[in-house]
Amino acid sequence: MKWIRDLDLSQLQNWMIENNYPKYRAGQLYGWLWKREVDDFQQMRNLPLEMREKLAGEFCLERLETIDNRQSEDGCVKFALRLHDGNIVEMVLIPAPNRVTLCLSSQVGCALHCSFCATAHLGFTRNLSAYEIYGQALMADRLSRELYGMPLGNIVCMGMGEPLLNYDNILKALRMITSPDGMGWSPSRITLSTAGICDGIRRLAEEDFPIHLAVSLHTAVAEQRVELMPVARKYPLQDLSDALAFYHERTGERVTIEYLLLRDVNDRREHVEALLKFCKRFPVKINIIEYNEHPFSPFRASSDAVRDGFIRALEARNLVVNLRHSKGKEIAAACGQLACLKREGRQI
């Protein structure tokens, strides 16, 4: 049995011809596969019954099943999704007054072992397929309309997993989200966040696909970054700087630097100076992120006074700095908290 969404439109047209069906039926089938939430060929009502049965005997459809959801006081909702093989991922809807943002996942678990992140404690199971990524957006758009009375407005690839370690599938999914054959979005509504996979950043720079790029930096002190983010052993800070300079040169786009403030770890004056030095080679916007504490981590959030001083020091050097307040902390839906766990620590 093959996954039918692995086939493009021309391959579906060939399948129709080979099986003595009119070629136009491929377009109808393609619409069901990418414009609607279906996990059963029998739901494709404008296709002949005999064709639906033949498709079901030859192909499989990925399945995303909502098995749990929790809403925080600030309106943020976290959904646990069971995949066809029983694995679970989480996605989060984050409302604002004029838009709703989806934080989607790209992998089951994560292989990077960042010391401050709850998802790291899951380890890595597998990559999500292109449709398992795309399907989160399709489902989230429907849920956004039901819960908040407005369509989904933005997507951030900042959930479980490292997107650039699932490069082909994340790019296929995002291209379908922006395709007229899919959701028809503008790429400018999508941000992809990476922990610093340099070869993936360079590949992305060479794509004709103007989504936004964010980098989880968290410290610009090379030795410290290795301790906090083991991926820095393979992709050292200098290599990351070179990759981001290449990205800006090829795209002309400003990079967003994400910086998680950890009390007495990366929030001192020397860390400000290191960050300023790192950001000299290319234009950046800096998102300062308040740390979301969780039971698996010894780290604590920086005090408000230290945080504000850190921001002022960056702004004094004419950098664009935003303070990002995380939503959904009490339901473990905030940045770095996604771990497919109930609050009391049992796996869903």
Catalytic residue IDs: 90, 335
The CA distance from 129 to 131, in Å, is 5
What is the C-alpha radius of gyration for the chain, rounded to an integer number of angstroms? 21
In this structure, what token pair is assigned to residue 269? 């004056």
In this structure, what token pair is assigned to residue 215? 């980098």
Q: Token match 């192909």: residue?
A: 59
In terms of DSSP bridges, do strands 107-109 and 124-127 run parallel, antiparallel, or are they unpaired? antiparallel
> What ranges in the chain are assigned the alpha helix state H?
9-18, 25-35, 49-58, 130-148, 167-178, 198-205, 222-228, 237-251, 269-278, 304-315
| CA 315 centroid distance within chain | 28
In terms of DSSP bridges, do strands 99-103 and 107-109 run parallel, antiparallel, or are they unpaired? unpaired
In this structure, what token pair is assigned to residue 344? 């009391």
Burial of 301 (0-12, 13-18, 19+ CB in 10 A): middle
What are the distances in angstroms from CA 50 to CA 2, 46, 200? 19, 12, 44
The CA distance from 90 to 79, in Å, is 6
The CA distance from 240 to 200, in Å, is 11
CB atoms within 10 A of CB 23: 11
DSSP state of 140: H
CB 233 within 8 A of CB 226: yes
CB atoms within 10 A of CB 177: 26
CB 200 within 8 A of CB 221: no
